[in-house]
Structure 1
Amino acid sequence: MFPKLPFQILAVIYIISVLGFIFPKLKTGIIPRKTKGLIGIIFAPFFHNNWKHLISNTIPLIILLFTLQYFYPNQFIKVLSLILFCGGVLLFLIGRKSNHIGASGIIYGLISYIVIIGFISLTMKPILVSIAVLLLYGSFIWGIFPSKQKNISWEGHLCYAIAGGLMACYPQLIQLV
């Protein structure tokens, strides 16, 4: 059966982003260490600065969501939820003062999870999936380092990647949900 949930999630992201384009005051992302930024832990990945930002996240997000649901269907909701929450909390705690928005953090978390869980499994199919993801998105590693581009949340990339890695390395965390 073809996974539909990734497209439904993407549709929600598009709807919320468009609302943010129409009503810019809605774009409440993660504002580290500010009470106002707590709501962003949940909503930040759904808002984007502009169409270019949204569209640039679309293809990797749909591919990675599809990959997660297809190869790890029993963990899909839990892993995605925990990456979203744990990555957001970590960014809230250590991020620079800014309004961090966008789904790229989730992309980094999914890459991290899929690659690490595949190699940890020591079985052929997950390892091949990990290799395929590395071939497609191996250059993602550069996005977790400080950048001269002030509008890119490298801290968000790093925090969500750490969250995805933790979910892969400590599957008992997934069982808590």
Structure 2
Amino acid sequence: MPRMLSTSLERVRMSVSCAEGLGLSPGSPMFRHAMHAVAFLDKEKIALKMEYMKTTFRWSDAEVRIAVCRAPMLLTRSKDMLQRKSEFLMSVVGLEPAYIAHQPVILNLSLEGRLRPRYYVLKFLKEKGLLDRNLGYYTIAKVTEKVFMEKYISPHCEAAPHLAEDYATACRGQVPARFVFA
């Protein structure tokens, strides 16, 4: 964070204090992410964002702390983005608030470019009986694009020849007809 070099020592101390106040110790691997997240936020804005997440995701105080400690950059996300992801993950995908709090990295992933298209693929594969095990949503959301294609698209090219094309269409923000479920 080059901007921190031109920041006053007092501001750096405040950032360290805020990061520690979130429950992260300076030795934690997530501490530098927390420092980045809180570097130019005051304690009031952090408290307001945490309260907003608590309401939006129906989290307890403990769950908000868990989520922020595991993914401090959530503090930098817009309220609109958090709201849209909350609606999608809880109402459409059906994830429980506690599940999201324990896997908060999912909230840093693109809704249109990753979360929604992969949900469509998972639902399609389940409806067609093409999965040999019951996968959790986070399992497919977290993997890289290359791994996703190798594990969940390519093996089904014969049984579902349009799956790769439909997935690519979904990644562009459109919903292919084969991904419309009754």
TM-score w.r.t. length of structure 2: 0.30
As a proportion of its length, which structure holds more helix?
1
**Could you say which structure has the larger radius of gyration?**
2
Task: Provide TM-score, normalisation by structure 1.
Answer: 0.31
The one of the two structures with greater contact order (alpha-carbon pairs below 8 A, sep at least 6) is 1
